Structures are given as structure tokens and as C-alpha cells.
Structure 1
Amino acid sequence: MRRPARTWLGTLLAASTLVALAGCTGGAQEDACDTSTANVIECAPEQRGDPIKAAGELLDGDRYDLNQDRGQVVVVNFWGSWCAPCVAEAKDLEATYQATKANGVRFIGVNVQDMREKAIAFERGRVTYPSLFDPASRVALAFDPPPNSTPATIILDREGRIAVVLRKPVRQDGLQPLVERVAAESPPVAGPR
């Protein structure tokens, strides 16, 4: 009798896990976009949802709100100092930022599940753009489709809507063309830097 009970319990746990994971893979907005490439979601302008509303405290203690960069393309990178792929992609993120910022592109990091001191030390000498300090990973909840991984990079169009989600480490040769394509959709709007 014990064996069937274990089998039943194992089946129930497996089914519960599949349901939970399915609920975390994305939402209605993700279903509307092109997910033909592994770990990359691209949303055409007519497929994009509402502007993302997210704000928080930067690593230096200042406040940041995505609304302040409306009119700019914003590249949001979710990272942690404990994440080896994040270390590997930092140079490529910075190079892409430097190559595209004159075209009205802004980069913002979101440091997750980390200690402030480690995050600040990680950024020093690696990137020049700011990062939100989000140890509880709450900022990701504002995004649909969600990042769902660390690292993850999301490109927002000039209206603040998700254009591209990359759920993998990035390299400049893959990221920069995507950023430039979204930046070319409409001219930059003068705004705060």
C-alpha cells in the first residue's frame, strides 16, 4: 500500500510543479509576440502592451522612475554580482551603451538578490550607467513579458513598452542591432538625461 501512495504523491507533486512553472513562463503579452527564437521574445510595435511602470532606489541612494526616460529607448538589464554570466556580459552591455547612447538610448541595471556593497563593487570599473537596487526582485513584477532569469535584458521602446526580452546573457554583436532597430523606429525626444 505504501508504494501506490508514494506514486500518487509523486505524480501530484510533479503536476503541481508543471502548473507552477507554466504560470511563471509568461503572460498574455508574451503570447502575442514572436517567441520563435530560444530565450528571445520580440514584439512588433502593434503587439506591444502598455508602458511599463517601474521605479526604485538606485545603488547610490537616488530615486529612479522609468517615466523620467519616456521618449528614450531604455535597455533594462537584470543582474547580480553572484551571477557568472552577468560578469561575462558586463563588458558587452557597457560597449553597447557607449555605442548607442547618442541615439537616445538609456541603460539601467536592476541588481537582484544581492547586497548593496557587493553590487557597488561589481559595477565599479565595469559599467557607467546606473542600477536600481532590488534585493527582493520586485521590479521584475512590472514587466510583461517578465524577465524570468538572471541575467535578462529588456529593451523598451520610446513609449516605454516592451519591444524585446532576452532571457540569456548578451553579447554586443547580438544586442546592439536589436537596440538600434528599436531606436530607429522613431526619432529621439528631448528629455531628461
Structure 2
Amino acid sequence: MRRAWLSALLALVTAVAVTGCSGGGTFEDDCETRDGVLECAPGTRAPAPKVAGELLDGARYDIAQERGNVVVVNFWGSWCAPCVAEADDLESTYQATRDKGVRFLGVNVNDGRDKAKAFEQGRVTYPSLFDPGSRVALDFQVPPNSVPATIVLDRDGRIAVVIRRGVTQDVLRPIVERVAAEGPAPDGSR
């Protein structure tokens, strides 16, 4: 029942996003899609929605605190086999790019807190929002159409890349490094 509900929810969100993007705007026109990866030129990027909530550890989080950093947002669930498969690659990419002003945020969807915490333990060191109702996915104008999905935000908080499938470090790291190289990190480094 949960998976059916999530699939229906994500299909609805995708339909809304496609409708919103096809209304004569340049967002989709100037974005390139290859192998499930949508990349957008800097001048055509849509602003990311406000993202705030409770982390799995109970702390509060607001993505606005990350302005000036590249933020990689990964939607995942403990019940999702491709999420298990990509966890090491996400963590490796995080470790390799965090000194370049790159932050990672997981968004745990359609899950119980205890299962989500157990999944993360020993796998990833970056924080994850607890989002059992998938509200964060609903807030994105270009949401994932399945879990896992990864969205890369540029330093200005705009959607630069949407990956609608599981990722590997070989795919994700060059994308993240390319977006990070577009402008200086908050400390002035690249």
C-alpha cells in the first residue's frame, strides 16, 4: 500500500512539474537530458523550493543556511534496494567534494524513523531530513519520479541537475565538481 501511494504521489508530482515546465518557459528548453540525467544551463535554472524540517537525529534543518554552497539532495528510503546500492557512492562523492563547498542532504521518504536511522548508520555521514509524507518531494518543481533520485543545487540555490535513478560516484562526482567550479565557495576557494 505504501509503495502504491508513493508511486501515485510521485506520478502526480511529475505531471505537475512537466505541466509547469512546458508553459513556454525556457527551463526545459535549455536543459539537456541524457541517460536519466537532466542538466540545466546556469541562466535557465529554476529556484529550489524552501526546504526545512527535522533531521533523523531530531535537530532542525533549513537549506537556506547552505546558500553559497552546492547542495546535493538525495531522496531515499530504507526499503529501496537501489538506495542501498548507491549509498557508498554518495558518501564517497560527499567526502571527495565537501572541501569544495559541497554539502549533501538526504531526504528519507515513506519510512519509519528507526528503520531510516539503522539504514544510515555506518553508511553516510551527512544529515538526512525525516520526510515520511514526501512533502519535500512535493515542494520541488522538478521532483524525482522515483526513489532514489538526486537533485544538485548550485551555489545560488537553483536546480542545476536532476537524476531520476540510482547514481554511482563515476556519474555523480563529475557533475558535482562541474557545478562547484561555476563559482567560488563561501570561503573564496573553488
Q: Following TM superposition, by how much is the alpha carbon of 1:190 offset from its aligned partner in structure 2, in angstroms?
A: 4.0
8 Å contact from structure 2 (residues 48, 157) kept in 1 = yes
Question: What corresponds to 2:49 in structure 1?
Answer: 52
Q: Following TM superposition, by how much is the alpha carbon of 1:33 offset from its aligned partner in structure 2, in angstroms?
A: 4.1
Percent of aligned pairs with the same amino acid = 64
Q: Following TM superposition, by how much is the alpha carbon of 1:140 offset from its aligned partner in structure 2, in angstroms?
A: 1.0
Higher alpha-carbon Rg: 1
Partner-residue secondary structure (3-state), 1:182: helix
Structure-2 change in CA distance of 1:21 and 1:51 (3 Å):
closer
Q: CA–CA distance in 2 between the matches of 1:163 and 1:183?
A: 11
Q: CA–CA distance in 2 between the matches of 1:117 and 1:44?
A: 39
Gaps of 5+ in 2: 1-10
Q: CA–CA distance in 2 between the matches of 1:84 and 1:24?
A: 27
Matched, 1:68 2:47: no
Q: Following TM superposition, by how much is the alpha carbon of 1:34 offset from its aligned partner in structure 2, in angstroms?
A: 2.1
Q: CA–CA distance in 2 between the matches of 1:25 and 1:49?
A: 11
Matched, 1:125 2:117: no
Q: Deviations along 1:31-88, whole A, 9 cap, x unmatched?
A: 2342431321111100112243111110001111110000000000000000000000
Matched, 1:113 2:110: yes
Matched, 1:184 2:169: no
Question: What corresponds to 1:175 in structure 2?
Answer: 172
Alignment of 1:11-50 (within 5 A): 23-24=15-16, 26=18, 27-28=20-21, 31-50=28-47
Matched, 1:99 2:96: yes
What TM-score do you get using the length of structure 1 for normalisation?
A: 0.84
Q: CA–CA distance in 2 between the matches of 1:34 and 1:104?
A: 24
Residue 86 (structure 1) aligned to one of 75, 83, 89: 83
Matched, 1:165 2:141: no
Residue 150 (structure 1) aligned to one of 147, 151, 155: 147
Q: Aligned residue pairs: how many?
A: 173
Partner-residue secondary structure (3-state), 1:122: helix
Question: What corresponds to 1:12 in structure 2?
Answer: none
